[in-house]
Amino acid sequence: MNTTTFKDRWDLFTVLAYFILCFVMMLAENGGASQMPTTVKDINLLKAMQVVLTTILFILPATIFCRFMRDERSAFLNMSATPHFYYILTAAATILFALPAVSGLESWNHLIHLPASMSSIENWMRLKETEAEKITLLFFEDKSIGGLVINLLVMAFMAALSEEIFFRGLLQQMLIKNKVNVHVAIVITAILFSAFHLQFFGFIPRMFLGIVLGYLYFITQNLWVSIIAHFCNNAFAVVVMHYSLDLTVDISVVFILLSIAMVVGQLVMLKRFATKINSLH
């Protein structure tokens, strides 16, 4: 019988406390004046710092956590097994079907305004998002194939790897191990995942993406599946930005609902396949 132990509760507290600490540090850093990189050297340094930061914030702590706090050690993250090809295919397809919903939800999110009494906070958030967009554009000034490869490594792969290890691999798992309802645990993790990015006007679509990634991981019990799905999402955005593709279209409510329905359909089929595979072992 799977029971919640004091150790499980303590481990969850540790992960949440660490998340809060990182969130406060990021919030404090984001609240200060930002200095835009002005040279190619500065931009490359910023990319290198992003790799180092994600490693220090997420990958290294996860490794230490599993090594010293979990009896399962590295097996806790469910990264040792190569994912079934069908899992990989479904992960990529799910992200593809989710793109219209993400785009539509992002458009809606941008239309949200805080109450008049909080206008100063909203102005600050919009300013920070504008600054983040400017920095992102600087990342794509190098239009060479080499520049594309580096951006795919930094902005697609490293972001997917580090964030999935922490949010789905650690946080979501610890919530479930502490008897939090699976669906609630996935939603809570998605909310914290989106909040950590400190982008209010992209909060809803990123939360939706986090929910999709959460189910992909929970159904397959293989973290590489959600990492691959996360990478596909990021890589699509990187390629669009690199080639300056204008994919701006008005997404209707019907199309958004259809997109969500197709995502749910993919997850249902994945669940059935995973159940069949598990029954054979």
- What's the pLDDT at 33? 58
**Cα–Cα distance, 50 to 138 (Å, whole number):** 14
Q: What would the pLDDT profile of 236-266 be if each residue is shown by its tens digit?
A: 999 999 999 888 788 899 999 999 999 999 9
HEC assignment per residue over 9-72: HHHHHHHHHHHHHHHHHHHHHHHCCCCCCCCHHHHHHHHHHHHHHHHHHHHHHHHHHHHHHCCC
pLDDT at 32: 63
Distance CA 270, CA 220 (A): 8
Task: Read off the pLDDT of residues 76-118 as tens digits, 9 standing for 90 and up.
Answer: 999 999 999 999 999 999 999 999 999 999 999 989 888 999 9
User: Mutual orientation of helices 85-111 and 203-220 as an angle, nearest 10°?
Assistant: 160
Count the neighbouring beta carbons within 10 Å of the beta carbon of residue 167: 26
Q: Which residues contact 278 (CB under 8 A, 6 or more apart)?
A: none
The backbone torsions φ and ψ at residue 60, rounded to the nearest 5 degrees and listed phi first, read -60, -50
Q: Round to whole Å and give the CA distance between 165 and 77.
A: 7
Cβ(97)–Cβ(263) under 8 Å?
yes
Q: Where are the domains of the chain?
A: 6-279
Q: Which of 244, 260, 240 is nearest to 252 (CA)?
A: 260
Mean local confidence (pLDDT), 59-83: 94
- Supply the pLDDT for residue 36: 76
Residues ≥6 apart with Cβ < 8 Å to 168: 189, 213, 214, 217, 223, 226
Backbone torsions φ then ψ of 259, nearest 5 degrees: -60, -45
Average the pLDDT over 50-79 and give the result. Answer: 95
Helix axes 223-242, 85-111, angle to 10 degrees: 50
d(CA 98, CA 255): 11
The mean pLDDT of 123-151, rounded to a whole number, is 91
Q: What's the pTM value of the predicted model, to 2 decimals? A: 0.94
pLDDT digits (tens, 9 = 90+) for 172-230: 999 999 999 999 999 999 999 999 998 888 999 999 999 999 999 999 999 999 999 99
| Cβ neighbours of 13 (radius 10 Å) | 12
Per-residue confidence band for 1, with pLDDT thresholds at 50, 70 and 90: very low
In angstroms, the CA 239 to CA 47 distance is 17
Spatial contact of 211 and 187, defined as CB atoms under 8 Å apart: yes
pLDDT value at position 203?
95
